[in-house]
Amino acid sequence: MCAKRPKIQLCLAFSGEEAGEACQVAAEGIGALKTTRASERPASSASLREEVCERENLKRALQRVKRNKGSAGVDGVRVDQLPVYLKEHWPAIRSQLLSGTYRPQPVRRVEISKPDGGRRALGIPTALDRFIQQAVRQVLQRDWDSTFSEHSYGFRPRRSAHQAVARAQAYLAGGYRWVVDLDLEKFFDRVNHDQLMGRVVQRVTHKRLLALLRGFLNAGVMAQGLVSPTDEGTPQGGPLSPLLSNLVLDVLDRELERRGHRFVRYADDCNIYVRSRQAGQRVMASVTRFITTRLKLTVNAVKSAVARPHARKFLGFSFTAGRAPKRRIAPKALVRMKARVRRLTRRTRGVSLKQMVRELATYLTGWRGYFGDCETPSVLTGLDSWIQRRLRCAVWKQWKRGPRRFAVLRARGVGHDLAAQTAGSPHGPWHLSLSPALSFALPTALFGSLGLPRLSAQPNA
């Protein structure tokens, strides 16, 4: 048994800690990448556990965990406390890892809202367990990634959601205008542990590392102060979960490749592209049987469908229906984006325009980084105009009454008659947000000077 862990004041400070992650790779272009699948061989297990504990690997793992931040686990220890704790206790922890006596702590169960209105369960490991999982993941991913399918894009180095969407678009352009959209029901919660470990054993032979991986799977879940055992699932929230999910679904990838299908998979989102509805229905039935019988997983019949791609969404995008399909933002993604902007620009928030723009810019910069890749620029232009109207409405509300509004409009250079007419208008803020007076007093350039990004402009323009 391992020694009881103290209630942690945490932190690891390896001397000479690097500022950035040494092995982080720059994102490549959106063109589809091809991966040469290596033959499956067990990893060189004699040195594998030592590689996990190797200094440079640990430094990269710590940097990644610190960068990802995240909530504390069941022990209440925050990520920012981890370096100091590790500096003091790492020799004992390393000894436990190498001897096979390390025991992960239960994960903390939390639920978050899903975009469709449902709830998603997350399992949050302790900061220490996240660090160890990340160190293990880095070593295993280095050995495993080249064996995965070129059609798999999720949670892999040098691969991205944009590349997955581009590959799907290429299939459409090639005449495969029907999609078999498969939704795996609660995939991360229902992975069979025995099947998963059977796949791991094909690649890792070291018993102590296998025991550690099994320990992370069976660590249990704490909810409302009670710890429950876990006999299935790889809870979302731990660094190892994405790699292990790719290992499970690699079985599906190989089967789809064997059948000669054109498909794209990103984590548990899998789209297969065919030429007709009839072909799609046959593929849906046969692949569903394979997933149910071979992988012991469930296909959500309500959310899965055979349909035209423009009627479905994939990773937040959809496609136009023309001969040359273009990437467009999925309607549901636009609805979620507008809901977020409405919250940030609520007229009754009581914050200054500068602060409102600052908070809005943080969200919009990340949103543009992902959805700015769409090929329907008119949508982005319309969103820019809509956001500026929202800001003008908020400012107009803050100016409150007619005399104040008149004075501010005059101070901002609006003519006397136009300022008086606008300040005394019976129309509401939304109508007046397009008025000449407010467009002059609160121009696009003003919002830009406060840091508001333009969605329709290139990020580095």
Higher pLDDT among residues 36 and 442, named by residue = 442
Mean pLDDT over 46-67 rounds to 85
Question: What is the pLDDT at residue 459?
Answer: 47
Confidence of residue 47 (pLDDT cuts 50, 70, 90): low
Confidence of residue 107 (pLDDT cuts 50, 70, 90): confident
Assess whether pLDDT exceeds 90 at residue 255.
yes
Question: What is the pLDDT at residue 171?
Answer: 97
| Most confident among 4-8, 182-186, 358-362 (mean pLDDT) | 358-362
Higher pLDDT among residues 37 and 93, named by residue = 93
Mean pLDDT over 375-399 rounds to 96
> Going by C-beta distance under 8 Å and a sequence separation of 6 or more, which residues neighbour residue 89?
5, 6
Question: What is the pLDDT at residue 109?
Answer: 80
The pTM (predicted TM-score) of the whole model is 0.82
The chain-wide mean pLDDT, for the chain, equals 85
* Residue owning tokens 């329907």: 376
The identity of residue 389, as a single letter, is R
Confidence of residue 189 (pLDDT cuts 50, 70, 90): confident
Retrieve residue 213's tokens. 């991986």
Assess whether pLDDT exceeds 80 at residue 436.
yes
Mean pLDDT over 99-117 rounds to 80
Question: What is the pLDDT at residue 24?
Answer: 36
* Separation in Å, CA 288 to CA 121, 164, 183, 252, 327: 24, 22, 10, 11, 28
Assess whether pLDDT exceeds 70 at residue 6.
no
Confidence of residue 111 (pLDDT cuts 50, 70, 90): confident
* Separation in Å, CA 47 to CA 54, 103, 139, 145: 10, 21, 11, 19
- Give the CA count within 13 Å in the CB-facing half-sphere of 6: 12
CA distance 217 to 221: 10
Confidence of residue 420 (pLDDT cuts 50, 70, 90): very high
Confidence of residue 276 (pLDDT cuts 50, 70, 90): very high
Mean pLDDT over 355-377 rounds to 95
What proportion of the chain, given as a percentage, has pLDDT over 70? 84
Nearest alpha-carbon partner for 239 in 162, 155, 157: 155
> Going by C-beta distance under 8 Å and a sequence separation of 6 or more, which residues neighbour residue 249?
152, 265, 267, 268, 270, 295
Question: What is the pLDDT at residue 110?
Answer: 78
Question: What is the pLDDT at residue 359?
Answer: 96
